[in-house]
Amino acid sequence: MAKTYIENMLGENEKIILVTRQHGFVLFSSIVAEVIVTLIVFGAAAALSLANPAALFVLLLALIPLAIMTRDILVWNNHQYIVTNRRVIQISGVINKNVIDSSLEKVTDIKMTQSFFGRLFDYGDVEILTASEIGVNMFKRIGNPVKFKTAMLNAKEKLGYEGTGSRGINPRPDSIPALIDALEELRKKGILTEEEFKAKKKELLAKM
């Protein structure tokens, strides 16, 4: 089976944890005008005799809102938010793809905002603050934001825990200097920030 666009973007041992989109209300608000116009056009065509050339012209006019509605559906369907065990990815675009991703290691804070109707119909805004140049990623009106935020927090926690090199086992004191050297290399490559490096180094030194 051919890989999807998302699957082709994944690195080695990278796995998809959650895929979501903007809430269905976003799609509905985009196409409601086109649906109304289409119904009006079909109603006007029905009011005319099919033998009347004007009826055919009116039916052809219905193709315009239908085409716009199809475009809106494709745009909504292709705008996805993905949480993997390494990063958060935002993909948009039907033909030309626009991809923004943030490493979970560089995510410094996650904020979620839900209005009364957001809690009622399960949608909201998720703001991701990172240590990268982008700084802030805002995901507006996504479906099931609580699950999305929880998936990110769990993946980040697991990644940070494995990043110490322990994988659930306390490192031996004689291996800690080597682990600190490995963290130093990650800092030099920009994978870890200075603050993250110092925090992990302090944690390892406390185990000696």
Mean pLDDT of 84-98: 90
Mean pLDDT of 186-202: 77
Following CA atoms 47, 49, 50, 54 in sequence, which dihedral angle do they give, to the nearest 10 degrees?
-80
Alpha carbons within 13 angstroms on the beta-carbon side of residue 143 total 15
Task: Look at residue 1 in the predicted model and tell me its pLDDT.
Answer: 46
171 within some domain: yes
Distance, CA of 162 to CA of 164 (rounded, Å): 5
Identify the domain containing residue 168 by its residue range: 164-205
Task: Provide the pairing of β-strand 107-113 with 16-21.
Answer: unpaired
Beta bridge partners of 109: 129
Task: Look at residue 160 in the predicted model and tell me its pLDDT.
Answer: 64
174 within some domain: yes
64 within some domain: no
Domains held by the chain: number: 1
- For residue 97, give every residue at least 6 positions away whose Cβ sits within 8 Å of its Cβ, in sequence order, or none: 5, 91
Q: Which is it for the CA torsion 190, 131, 149, 88, positive or negative?
A: negative
Most confident of 127-141, 143-157, 175-189: 143-157
40 within some domain: no
68 within some domain: no
Q: Strand, coil or helix: what is 116?
A: helix
180 within some domain: yes
Kindly report the CA angle at 92 between 158 and 36, in degrees rounded to 5?
125
Could you tell me the maximum CA-CA distance found in the chain, to the nearest angstrom? 91
Q: Please tell me whether the overall predicted TM-score, pTM, comes out greater than 0.75 for this model.
A: no
129 within some domain: no
> Mean of the per-residue pLDDT values for the chain?
81
93 within some domain: no
Residue 101 in contact with residue 89, Cβ under 8 Å? yes
pLDDT digits (tens, 9 = 90+) for 17-60: 999 999 999 899 889 988 898 888 887 777 766 556 777 777 78
Question: Please, where are the H alpha helices in 21-97?
Answer: 24-47, 53-61, 63-78
